[in-house]
């Protein structure tokens, strides 16, 4: 399979790209920093005995004008693609966002408006070539309005809703949309935060994501325990949510 991974140089995206390369899929990485892209291309190339070269193109989630050219470059490098995986996103703590309105504007724009824009570019290209996979990392943070992730969570809530609707609308046409809702995962993005119980590792999340794609699922929580945690959180009364800090 030929796969485009946007955000595949670090975190969960890196783990997904590595596992794809190891099983023999061809990967084109999209990302912001050229130096890191080059290192990751070397990594993905070395991970399979065939040493078939991975590829990359520069794409910045904060610059929507880079989206279409990057996807076109990926299509050229791969000779077409059957899957697009989006792991790129911005993260900041609620405290940092409340202290900086500009950061709030940037984060909500990147995580919602720009991610949806990127997905629309990807969707049209996938549908034009007969369908495929559009896998996007949202977050459990979007499942409920919660104090510590009020702004970040709301950007992911909008994204999750969009992805659900995409699945409803285009599954018949052969587009498998997967909304991934990771719980807390120990990556550079969450560095410095105290990991809660059930914190996951990127490798484990990547395995879950690839299995869900193979099974053409529309939604997963990962690590799996978070499906249960969020079931409870979604059903807590407002009075309780106001009291607790979670």
**What mask, x for binding another protein by CB under 8 A, covers residues 179 to 218?**
-------xxx--xx-x-------x----------------
Residue 58, strand partner residues? 31
Nearest to 83 by CA among 132, 42, 154, 145: 132
The residue (of 108 and 187) whose beta carbon lies closer to another protein is 187
DSSP for 146-164, please give it: -GGGHHHHHHHHHHHHHHH
Place of tokens 């935060």: 193
Please report how close the Cβ of residue 132 comes to another protein at its closest, in angstroms.
27
What residues pair up with 134 in beta bridges, in sequence order? 84, 177
202 vs 209, which CB is nearer to another protein?
202
Q: Is the peptide bond before 237 cis (omega within 30 degrees of 0)?
A: no
Examine residue 135 and tell whether it contacts another protein (CB under 8 A). Answer: no
Distance CA 166, CA 164 (A): 5
Does residue number 43 form part of the binding site for another protein (CB under 8 A)?
A: yes
Kindly state the helix (H) or strand (E) to which residue 70 belongs, with its residue range: helix 67-78
> Binding to another protein by residue 224, rule CB under 8 A?
no
Q: Report CA-CA distances (Å) from 178 to 58, 72, 161.
A: 24, 22, 12
Examine residue 20 and tell whether it contacts another protein (CB under 8 A). Answer: no
Q: Is there binding between residue 51 and another protein (CB under 8 A)? A: yes
Binding of residue 121 to another protein (CB under 8 A):
no
Site stretch for another protein (CB under 8 A), options 3-11, 67-75, 139-147, 207-215: 3-11
Given 23, 24, 34, 39, the residue binding another protein (CB under 8 A): 39
In the complex, which residues of this chain contact another protein (CB under 8 A)?
9-11, 14, 22, 36, 39-40, 42-43, 46-47, 49, 51, 186-188, 191-192, 194, 202
């Amino acid at each position: 399979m030929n796969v485009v991974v946007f955000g595949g140089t670090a975190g969960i995206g890196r783990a997904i790209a590595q596992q794809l390369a190891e099983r023999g899929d061809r990967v084109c990485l999209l990302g912001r920093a050229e130096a890191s892209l080059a290192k990751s291309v070397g990594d993905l190339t070395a991970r399979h005995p065939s040493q078939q070269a991975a590829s990359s193109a520069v794409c910045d989630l904060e610059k929507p004008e880079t989206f279409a050219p990057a996807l076109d470059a990926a299509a050229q490098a791969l000779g077409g693609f059957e899957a697009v995986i989006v792991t790129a996103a911005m993260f900041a703590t609620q405290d940092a966002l409340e202290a900086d309105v500009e950061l709030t504007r940037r984060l909500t724009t990147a995580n919602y408006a720009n991610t949806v824009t990127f997905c629309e570019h990807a969707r049209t290209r996938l549908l034009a070539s007969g369908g495929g996979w559009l896998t996007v990392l949202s977050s459990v943070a979007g499942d409920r309005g919660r104090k510590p992730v009020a702004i970040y969570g709301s950007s992911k809530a909008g994204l999750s809703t969009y992805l659900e609707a995409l699945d409803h609308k285009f599954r018949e046409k052969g587009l498998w949309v997967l909304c991934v809702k990771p719980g807390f995962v120990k990556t550079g993005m969450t560095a410095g935060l105290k990991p809660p119980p059930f914190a996951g590792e990127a490798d484990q999340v990547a395995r879950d994501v690839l299995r869900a794609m193979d099974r053409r699922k529309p939604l997963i929580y990962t690590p799996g325990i978070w499906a249960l945690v969020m079931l409870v959180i979604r059903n807590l009364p407002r009075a309780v949510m106001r009291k607790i800090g979670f």
